[in-house]
């Protein structure tokens, strides 16, 4: 079955750029049936959708983060990535990658999540 | 786009039914039949339990059901079991500019 796995540094300094990668196994990021999203959850708080990418490179970002977010896809590696610039402590969160079924507009498969702490 | 409003906590006894509300606006919940619900156990990733307001993914118990009226969606858990004690989040499609907005989350306690 399809599985997603996040990877990247668990500690990022303030003002630097957070970079995470999601590796897709058991399926293809090039499938036209899905969008590939990043979602985060600060400790003890609710989920926040960050943005998505389609295999063709089409992206859509949460307006509240749009100026700092870049999501990209590398189909040859079956991966997609997140970059969030100029981070502050408010960006400390568990970051999840997730597959969105475009036919149903729901996140049907999630990675296990990776905790990223912003601290000097 | 503000988060959808959910009650912070809901409780019930084993075997009872409980309902969790998810209140949005005419720009999200009220405009689209694209509300989904997620169950999240501590330290785990969310799991999809309801999509398109009322539909259950394969393998999800039929004790979970969804509905919607106006700007408010609801998740009902019937025959409450100890394993249902955890956090639940709603999510709604909200249009092309901000496609997804999540709820504030509800902690379900089985008494």
Residues of A in contact with B101 (CB under 8 A): 49
Stretches in chain B below the pLDDT threshold 70: none
Q: How far is B69 from chain A (nearest CA, A)?
A: 19
Determine the Cα–Cα distance for residues A29 and A80; give it in Å rounded to an integer.
8
| CA separation for the pair B12, B18 (Å, rounded) | 6
- Rounded Cα distance between B97 and B103, Å, is 18
Please list the pLDDT of chain A residue by residue as tens digits (120 residues).
Answer: 999 999 999 999 999 999 999 999 999 999 889 999 999 999 999 999 999 999 999 999 999 999 999 999 999 999 999 999 999 999 999 999 999 998 889 999 999 999 999 999
Contact B77, B61 (CB under 8 A): no
From chain B, pick out residues whose CB is under 8 angstroms from the CB of A113. Answer: 45
- Burial of A41 (C-beta count, 10 Å sphere; 0-12/13-18/19+): buried
- Do the Cβ atoms of B93 and A105 come within 8 Å? yes
Residue A68 to chain B, least CA–CA distance (Å): 16
User: Which residues does chain B have within 8 Å of residue A64's beta carbon, measured at their own beta carbons?
Assistant: 1
Q: Does B98 touch chain A (CB under 8 A)?
A: yes
Nearest to B21 by CA among B84, B106, B85: B106
Answer whether B93's CB lies under 8 Å from A105's CB: yes
Distance from the A111 Cα atom to the nearest Cα atom in chain B, whole angstroms: 7
Residue range B35-55, pLDDT digits in tens = 999 999 999 999 999 999 999
State the smallest CA–CA distance between residue B73 and chain A in angstroms.
Answer: 15
Helix (H, G, I), strand (E, B) or coil at B93: strand
A11-21 pLDDT tens trace:
999 999 999 99
Quick check: A107 and A97 in contact, CB under 8 A? no
B74: part of which helix (H) or strand (E)?
Answer: strand B72-77
What integer pLDDT is reported at residue A31 of this predicted model?
Answer: 86
Structure tokens belonging to residue A53: 């990418």
* B52 contacts chain A (CB < 8 A): yes
- CB contact under 8 Å between B45 and A96, yes or no, is yes
Share of chain B above pLDDT 90, in %: 94
Tell me what pLDDT residue A90 has. Answer: 97
Say what the pLDDT of residue A102 is: 86
The DSSP result for chain A, as a single string, is --EEEEES-SEE-TTS-EEEEEEEESS-TT-TTEEEEEEEE-TTS--EEEEEE-TTS-EEE-TTTTTTEEEEEEGGGTEEEEEE-S--GGG-EEEEEEEEETTTTEEEEE---EEEEE--
Pick the residue from chain B with its C-alpha nearest to A41.
B45
Query: What was the pLDDT predicted at B21?
Result: 98
Chain A residues in contact with B93 (beta carbon < 8 A): 105
């Amino acid at each position: 079955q399809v599985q997603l796995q996040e990877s990247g540094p668990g500690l990022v300094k303030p003002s630097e750029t957070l970079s995470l990668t999601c590796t897709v196994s058991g399926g293809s990021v090039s499938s036209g049936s899905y969008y590939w999203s990043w979602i985060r959850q600060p400790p003890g708080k609710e989920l926040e959708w960050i943005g998505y990418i389609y295999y063709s490179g089409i992206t859509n970002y949460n307006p509240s983060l749009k100026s700092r977010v870049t999501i990209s896809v590398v189909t040859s590696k079956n991966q997609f990535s997140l970059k969030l610039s100029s981070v502050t402590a408010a960006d400390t969160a568990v970051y999840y990658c997730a597959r969105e079924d475009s036919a149903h507009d729901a996140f049907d498969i999630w990675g296990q999540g990776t905790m990223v702490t912003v601290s000097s | 786009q503000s988060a959808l409003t959910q009650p912070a906590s809901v409780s019930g006894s084993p075997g009872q039914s409980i309902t969790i509300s998810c209140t949005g606006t005419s720009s999200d919940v009220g405009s689209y039949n694209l509300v989904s619900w997620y169950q999240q156990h501590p330290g785990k990733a969310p799991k999809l339990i309801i999509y398109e307001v009322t539909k259950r993914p394969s393998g999800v118990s039929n004790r979970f059901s969804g509905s919607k009226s106006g700007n408010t969606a609801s998740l009902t858990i019937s025959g409450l079991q100890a394993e249902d004690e955890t956090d639940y989040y709603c999510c709604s499609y909200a249009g092309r500019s901000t496609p997804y907005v999540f709820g504030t989350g509800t902690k379900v306690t089985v008494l």
